[in-house]
Chains A and B, each alone.
Chain A
Amino acid sequence: DGGITQSPKYLFRKEGQNVTLSCEQNLNHDAMYWYRQDPGQGLRLIYYSQIVNDFQKGDIAEGYSVSREKKESFPLTVTSAQKNPTAFYLCASSIQGGNTNEKLFFGSGTQLSVL
Protein backbone atom coordinates (compact mmCIF):
# COMPACT_ATOMS: atom_id res chain seq x y z
CA ASP A 1 0.00 0.00 0.00
CA GLY A 2 2.69 2.51 -0.98
CA GLY A 3 2.52 5.53 -3.22
CA ILE A 4 2.20 8.32 -0.68
CA THR A 5 3.58 7.94 2.82
CA GLN A 6 2.99 10.12 5.87
CA SER A 7 4.93 10.00 9.09
CA PRO A 8 4.63 9.84 11.97
CA LYS A 9 1.21 8.29 12.46
CA TYR A 10 0.82 10.04 15.83
CA LEU A 11 2.51 13.24 16.97
CA PHE A 12 2.33 15.27 20.14
CA ARG A 13 3.12 18.95 20.40
CA LYS A 14 4.01 20.94 23.47
CA GLU A 15 3.00 24.57 23.93
CA GLY A 16 5.17 26.91 21.88
CA GLN A 17 6.72 24.10 19.88
CA ASN A 18 6.94 23.77 16.11
CA VAL A 19 6.43 20.29 14.70
CA THR A 20 6.92 18.96 11.19
CA LEU A 21 4.79 16.34 9.46
CA SER A 22 6.40 14.36 6.70
CA CYS A 23 4.82 13.50 3.34
CA GLU A 24 6.64 11.54 0.64
CA GLN A 25 5.32 10.20 -2.67
CA ASN A 26 6.88 7.89 -5.23
CA LEU A 27 4.13 8.34 -7.83
CA ASN A 28 6.01 10.99 -9.78
CA HIS A 29 3.09 13.35 -9.24
CA ASP A 30 3.61 17.05 -9.82
CA ALA A 31 1.00 18.34 -7.35
CA MET A 32 0.81 17.81 -3.61
CA TYR A 33 -1.64 19.02 -0.96
CA TRP A 34 -2.14 19.23 2.77
CA TYR A 35 -5.62 18.91 4.28
CA ARG A 36 -6.79 19.20 7.83
CA GLN A 37 -9.66 16.92 8.98
CA ASP A 38 -11.74 17.85 12.00
CA PRO A 39 -14.80 15.88 13.12
CA GLY A 40 -17.89 16.97 11.21
CA GLN A 41 -16.02 19.55 9.13
CA GLY A 42 -14.76 17.52 6.22
CA LEU A 43 -11.35 18.24 4.78
CA ARG A 44 -10.00 21.78 4.61
CA LEU A 45 -7.08 22.76 2.40
CA ILE A 46 -4.03 24.17 4.18
CA TYR A 47 -1.42 24.48 1.40
CA TYR A 48 -0.87 23.06 -2.04
CA SER A 49 1.99 22.85 -4.48
CA GLN A 50 1.61 22.45 -8.23
CA ILE A 51 5.29 22.04 -8.96
CA VAL A 52 8.67 21.90 -7.27
CA ASN A 53 9.78 25.13 -5.57
CA ASP A 54 6.28 26.58 -5.73
CA PHE A 55 3.37 26.47 -3.29
CA GLN A 56 0.22 28.45 -2.51
CA LYS A 57 -1.93 29.02 0.55
CA GLY A 58 -5.17 27.15 0.86
CA ASP A 59 -8.20 28.14 2.90
CA ILE A 60 -6.66 27.78 6.38
CA ALA A 61 -2.92 28.48 5.96
CA GLU A 62 -2.43 30.64 9.07
CA GLY A 63 -0.08 29.01 11.56
CA TYR A 64 1.31 26.55 9.02
CA SER A 65 4.28 26.54 6.65
CA VAL A 66 5.46 24.23 3.88
CA SER A 67 8.35 23.68 1.51
CA ARG A 68 8.67 21.87 -1.80
CA GLU A 69 12.35 21.47 -2.48
CA LYS A 70 11.95 18.03 -4.04
CA LYS A 71 9.19 16.66 -6.24
CA GLU A 72 8.58 13.70 -3.96
CA SER A 73 8.49 15.58 -0.64
CA PHE A 74 6.07 18.17 0.81
CA PRO A 75 6.60 18.59 4.58
CA LEU A 76 4.16 20.59 6.69
CA THR A 77 5.29 22.54 9.75
CA VAL A 78 2.71 23.37 12.38
CA THR A 79 4.03 26.45 14.09
CA SER A 80 3.36 27.79 17.57
CA ALA A 81 1.14 30.41 15.92
CA GLN A 82 -1.45 27.68 15.21
CA LYS A 83 -3.51 27.88 18.39
CA ASN A 84 -5.73 24.89 17.73
CA PRO A 85 -3.51 22.31 16.04
CA THR A 86 -5.20 19.15 17.29
CA ALA A 87 -6.53 17.45 14.16
CA PHE A 88 -5.96 14.69 11.66
CA TYR A 89 -3.69 15.84 8.83
CA LEU A 90 -3.90 14.29 5.39
CA CYS A 91 -1.40 14.72 2.60
CA ALA A 92 -2.45 14.08 -1.00
CA SER A 93 -1.02 14.19 -4.48
CA SER A 94 -2.30 14.33 -8.04
CA ILE A 95 -0.62 13.74 -11.36
CA GLN A 96 -0.54 17.42 -12.19
CA GLY A 97 -1.78 20.66 -10.78
CA GLY A 98 -2.84 23.55 -12.92
CA ASN A 99 -6.33 23.93 -14.29
CA THR A 100 -7.31 20.29 -14.14
CA ASN A 101 -9.76 18.17 -12.21
CA GLU A 102 -7.96 15.07 -11.10
CA LYS A 103 -8.13 12.20 -8.68
CA LEU A 104 -6.38 12.82 -5.39
CA PHE A 105 -4.25 10.08 -3.86
CA PHE A 106 -4.19 10.38 -0.08
CA GLY A 107 -1.69 9.32 2.52
CA SER A 108 -2.76 7.48 5.65
CA GLY A 109 -2.65 10.62 7.80
CA THR A 110 -1.01 11.97 10.95
CA GLN A 111 -2.96 12.58 14.15
CA LEU A 112 -1.53 15.62 15.91
CA SER A 113 -2.41 16.28 19.54
CA VAL A 114 -1.39 18.96 22.00
CA LEU A 115 0.13 17.94 25.33
Chain B
Amino acid sequence: GENVEQHPSTLSVQEGDSAVIKCTYSDSASNYFPWYKQELGKRPQLIIDIRSNVGEKKDQRIAVTLNKTAKHFSLHITETQPEDSAVYFCAASNAAKAAGNKLTFGGGTRVLVKP
Protein backbone atom coordinates (compact mmCIF):
# COMPACT_ATOMS: atom_id res chain seq x y z
CA GLY B 1 0.00 0.00 0.00
CA GLU B 2 0.85 3.67 0.09
CA ASN B 3 3.54 4.96 2.43
CA VAL B 4 3.96 8.67 3.19
CA GLU B 5 7.00 10.06 4.95
CA GLN B 6 7.08 13.60 6.29
CA HIS B 7 10.05 15.77 7.29
CA PRO B 8 11.01 17.42 9.51
CA SER B 9 9.14 16.18 12.56
CA THR B 10 9.64 19.53 14.29
CA LEU B 11 10.34 22.95 12.84
CA SER B 12 11.06 26.16 14.68
CA VAL B 13 11.05 29.42 12.74
CA GLN B 14 11.25 33.09 13.56
CA GLU B 15 8.09 35.10 12.96
CA GLY B 16 8.16 36.49 9.44
CA ASP B 17 10.42 33.76 8.06
CA SER B 18 9.30 30.97 5.74
CA ALA B 19 8.60 27.36 6.68
CA VAL B 20 8.84 24.36 4.36
CA ILE B 21 7.58 20.85 5.07
CA LYS B 22 8.34 17.98 2.69
CA CYS B 23 6.55 14.70 2.10
CA THR B 24 7.41 11.74 -0.07
CA TYR B 25 5.01 9.03 -1.19
CA SER B 26 5.54 5.55 -2.55
CA ASP B 27 2.56 4.83 -4.81
CA SER B 28 3.07 6.49 -8.19
CA ALA B 29 -0.67 6.16 -8.83
CA SER B 30 -1.58 8.52 -5.97
CA ASN B 31 -3.31 11.59 -7.36
CA TYR B 32 -4.59 13.64 -4.44
CA PHE B 33 -2.44 15.36 -1.81
CA PRO B 34 -4.11 17.34 0.99
CA TRP B 35 -2.54 19.15 3.93
CA TYR B 36 -4.23 19.32 7.33
CA LYS B 37 -3.43 21.68 10.19
CA GLN B 38 -4.08 20.69 13.80
CA GLU B 39 -3.76 23.45 16.36
CA LEU B 40 -3.16 22.48 19.95
CA GLY B 41 -6.26 20.85 21.42
CA LYS B 42 -8.26 21.28 18.23
CA ARG B 43 -9.38 19.05 15.39
CA PRO B 44 -7.42 18.73 12.13
CA GLN B 45 -8.64 21.01 9.36
CA LEU B 46 -7.88 21.00 5.65
CA ILE B 47 -5.80 24.03 4.67
CA ILE B 48 -4.87 23.25 1.07
CA ASP B 49 -4.84 20.35 -1.36
CA ILE B 50 -3.39 19.61 -4.77
CA ARG B 51 -4.25 17.09 -7.44
CA SER B 52 -1.80 15.38 -9.73
CA ASN B 53 -2.78 17.38 -12.79
CA VAL B 54 -1.15 20.56 -11.41
CA GLY B 55 2.32 21.30 -10.12
CA GLU B 56 1.63 24.16 -7.73
CA LYS B 57 -1.25 25.75 -5.88
CA LYS B 58 -1.31 28.89 -3.75
CA ASP B 59 -3.71 30.30 -1.19
CA GLN B 60 -2.55 33.58 0.35
CA ARG B 61 0.54 32.74 2.46
CA ILE B 62 0.50 29.02 1.86
CA ALA B 63 1.44 27.07 -1.23
CA VAL B 64 1.90 23.45 -2.15
CA THR B 65 4.17 22.07 -4.86
CA LEU B 66 4.07 18.61 -6.37
CA ASN B 67 6.81 16.71 -8.19
CA LYS B 68 5.22 13.56 -9.58
CA THR B 69 8.45 12.27 -11.09
CA ALA B 70 10.25 12.37 -7.76
CA LYS B 71 7.09 11.48 -5.84
CA HIS B 72 7.28 14.30 -3.37
CA PHE B 73 5.22 17.33 -2.44
CA SER B 74 5.88 20.25 -0.14
CA LEU B 75 4.01 22.83 1.91
CA HIS B 76 5.40 26.36 1.94
CA ILE B 77 4.30 28.95 4.48
CA THR B 78 5.57 32.48 3.91
CA GLU B 79 5.68 35.38 6.37
CA THR B 80 4.94 33.05 9.27
CA GLN B 81 2.81 34.31 12.14
CA PRO B 82 2.29 32.95 15.67
CA GLU B 83 -1.09 31.52 14.64
CA ASP B 84 0.74 29.26 12.18
CA SER B 85 2.06 27.30 15.16
CA ALA B 86 0.45 23.85 14.89
CA VAL B 87 1.00 20.29 13.74
CA TYR B 88 0.76 19.88 9.98
CA PHE B 89 -0.06 16.56 8.31
CA CYS B 90 0.39 15.69 4.67
CA ALA B 91 -1.57 12.86 3.07
CA ALA B 92 -1.93 11.02 -0.21
CA SER B 93 -4.60 8.94 -1.88
CA ASN B 94 -5.64 7.44 -5.18
CA ALA B 95 -9.37 7.64 -5.57
CA ALA B 96 -9.44 5.35 -8.56
CA LYS B 97 -7.57 2.64 -6.69
CA ALA B 98 -8.82 2.93 -3.15
CA ALA B 99 -12.52 3.18 -2.69
CA GLY B 100 -13.78 5.22 0.17
CA ASN B 101 -11.56 8.30 0.06
CA LYS B 102 -8.78 6.48 1.93
CA LEU B 103 -6.01 8.85 2.87
CA THR B 104 -2.54 7.76 4.01
CA PHE B 105 -1.09 10.37 6.35
CA GLY B 106 2.47 11.38 7.06
CA GLY B 107 3.77 11.43 10.63
CA GLY B 108 3.18 15.14 11.14
CA THR B 109 5.38 18.22 11.60
CA ARG B 110 5.16 20.34 14.70
CA VAL B 111 5.75 23.95 13.69
CA LEU B 112 6.62 26.57 16.27
CA VAL B 113 6.71 30.21 15.23
CA LYS B 114 8.75 32.28 17.65
CA PRO B 115 7.72 35.93 18.04
Do these two chains really belong together in a complex? yes
Is B99 at the interface (CB under 8 A from chain A)?
yes
Q: A70-109, CB under 8 A of B: which get 1 and which 0?
A: 0000000000000000000010001001111111101111
- List the count of A-B residue pairs having beta carbons below 8 Å apart: 72
Residues of B within 8 A of A44 (CB): 105
B95-A99 in contact (CB<8A): yes
Interface size class of B (residues with CB under 8 A): 20 to 34
User: Which listed residue (A41, A42, A100, A104) contacts B46, Cβ 8 A?
Assistant: A104
Known: A90-B44, A99-B95, A101-B93. A43 touches B101 (CB 8 A): no
A16: CB under 8 A from chain B?
no
Is the CB–CB distance between B89 and A102 below 8 Å? no
User: A25 in the interface, Cβ–Cβ < 8 Å?
Assistant: no
User: Could you give, for residues 60-95 of chain B, a 1 whenever the CB lies within 8 Å of some chain A CB and a 0 otherwise?
Assistant: 000000000000000000000000000001010101
Q: What does the 1/0 interface line of A33-77 toward B look like (CB < 8 Å)? A: 101000011111100101000001011000000000000000000
Chain B min CB distance to A68 (Å) = 12
Question: Considering the chains assembled together, what is the distance between the CA atoms of A106 and B103 in angstroms?
Answer: 13
CA distance A101 to B95 in the complex (A): 6
Residues of B within 8 A of A23 (CB): none
Tell me the A1-43 residues at the B interface (CB within 8 Å): 31, 33, 35, 40-43
Instruction: Using CB atoms and an 8 Å cutoff, list the residues of chain A in contact with chain B.
Output: 31, 33, 35, 40-45, 48, 50, 56, 58-59, 90, 94, 97-104, 106-109
B residues within 8 Å of A by Cβ? 1, 4, 6, 9, 31-32, 34, 36, 42-46, 49, 51, 89, 91, 93, 95-96, 99-108
